[in-house]
Amino acid sequence: MKPETEAELAKMVAGLNGPVRIAGGGTRGIGGPEVVIETLGLRGITLYEPGALTLVARAGTPVAEIEAALEAEGQQLAFEPMDHRGLLGTQGEPTIGGVVAANISGPRRIQAGACRDFLLGVRYVDGMGQVIKNGGRVMKNVTGYDLVKLMAGSWGTLGVLTEVSLKVLPKPETVATLAVGVPEVADAVQVMSAALKSPFEVSGAAYDSQTGRVLLRVEGGLESVAYRSQQLTAALSGFGEIAEVAQPADLWRALRDVRAFEGQDGDIWRISVKPTDAPDIAARLGADQTLFDWGGGLIWARVPGGIDLRDRLGAFDGHATLVRADAETAEALGRFQPEDAGIKALTQGVRRRFDPRGLFNPGLMG
C-alpha cells in the first residue's frame, strides 16, 4: 500500500484488519508483516526557512533530497543520519520519516545531539486512523506533552509519520581530523574522554580497534579549526603519535555508516554504554570486530551469528540493539534490549493507547 496523501493514509489505516509493516524506503531492515504501508508517496519539502534554521518535509521525502536542499544554503542535518544500505545490504531510498522513526544519529551525536533533539514537530496517523499533530516548526516549544520525542525512535510502532519538522544548522566552513595511535581500547577511551573534556569542541570521537587509531574531528571556521586542532594536539601529545588525516569528510561518512563491517559475516550489534565502561564491555563481547563511536559511548560489534550478546553482558548502564541478523535470530533474541517490568508496563500501556489493535510493526519493540 502506497498512499499519496495523509488523508488517504488515514483512511487506509482505519480500514486495516491486520498487522502491517511501516516502511519509508525500507533500507533499515526491520522485517515484519508481509503487508507493507510505504510512505514514499508522501513526498516533498513543504517549508524551508534558512534564516530560521527550520525545514518541514513529508515523511516519504528522500534524505538525499533534503540534504541537497540544505547544501544549497550551506546548511545540514547536524545529527548526521547514517545510511544503513551498505551495512545491511538493502536497496531503496532512505527517507526522512525512516530516519526520524528510528532516531538515527551519527558521530556528531556526542556534540550536536541526536535526531530526536533536532525534531521540532510531527504529524502522524495513529492506530485508529486519526491524524495527530504534536510540536510545531519553532525551536522552543513546551506546549503540552512532547510526543515528538516519543515518536522519534518508536520505529513506526506508535503511528505512521506523515510530516516532520526539523531544526537544521549551518554547515561548518571546514573540517579537520586528528588521528592518535593507541593500541588498547582502554587508552583509546581515555584519549577520547580527554578530548571531549577539553574546551575545543570536538564533534566526533571514534576508535577502530583494527587500525588502532583514535579519530577526533574538529569543525568550524578556518582559523578556529586550525587553532583548536593545534591546541588539541598539544593537549593530547602525552597519549601517543598524533597526526592530521587527509580527506576527513569521507572518513566520517565511512565511520557513520560502519563501512568497516560491510560484506563481513556475522550478526551486528549496536551497544549504547557509559563511555568509560566501553573497554570492560568490549572485553566481554567476544566480538570478531569492534568499532567505537561517541567517545566510546557507542560500540558497534560484529559477532558470530545467533549468539545472545545480552547474555554475555548481563546488567550494564545502557542497552544493546541487534542491527543485523537473520530473521530467526532476530525473532529469537529480539532486536531491542528487554525492559524492566516497570518500564515495560509503561511502554506497553503507551503502545496500546496509540495503536490499540496492534497493527504497526507488531513485536518489533516488544
Q: How far apart are CA 86 and CA 134, in angstroms?
A: 33
- Identify which range of 30-38, 64-72, 192-200, 210-218 contacts another protein by CB under 8 A: 192-200
- Identify which range of 58-66, 180-188, 283-291, 292-300 contacts another protein by CB under 8 A: 292-300
Q: Using the rule CB under 8 A, is 363 a contact of another protein?
A: no
Q: Which three cell numbers stand for residue 298?
A: 557507542
| Stretch 157-176 residues interacting with another protein (CB under 8 A) | 157-158, 169-171, 173
Q: What is the DSSP letter of 259?
A: G
358's torsion region: left (phi>0), alpha (psi -120 to 50) or beta? left
C-alpha 122 chain-centroid distance: 17
Q: Using the rule CB under 8 A, is 315 a contact of another protein?
A: no
Q: Which is nearer to another protein, 148 or 260 (CB)?
A: 148
Residue closest to 123 by CA, chosen among 57, 187, 208: 57
Q: Which three cell numbers stand for residue 102?
A: 528510528
Q: Which is nearer to another protein, 179 or 298 (CB)?
A: 298
**Angle (nearest 5°) at CA 249 between 301 and 255:** 0
Question: Which residue of 275, 282, 323, 324 would you call a contact of another protein, by CB under 8 A?
Answer: 275
Measure the N-to-C terminal CA separation of the chain; round to a whole number of Å: 25
Q: Using the rule CB under 8 A, is 14 a contact of another protein?
A: no
**Angle (nearest 5°) at CA 67 between 65 and 71:** 120
The CB-of-268 to another protein minimum distance in angstroms stands at: 16
| Stretch 200-239 residues interacting with another protein (CB under 8 A) | 201, 221, 223-224, 227
- Identify which range of 43-51, 87-95, 256-264, 282-290 contacts another protein by CB under 8 A: 43-51
Q: Using the rule CB under 8 A, is 249 a contact of another protein?
A: no
The CB-of-42 to another protein minimum distance in angstroms stands at: 19
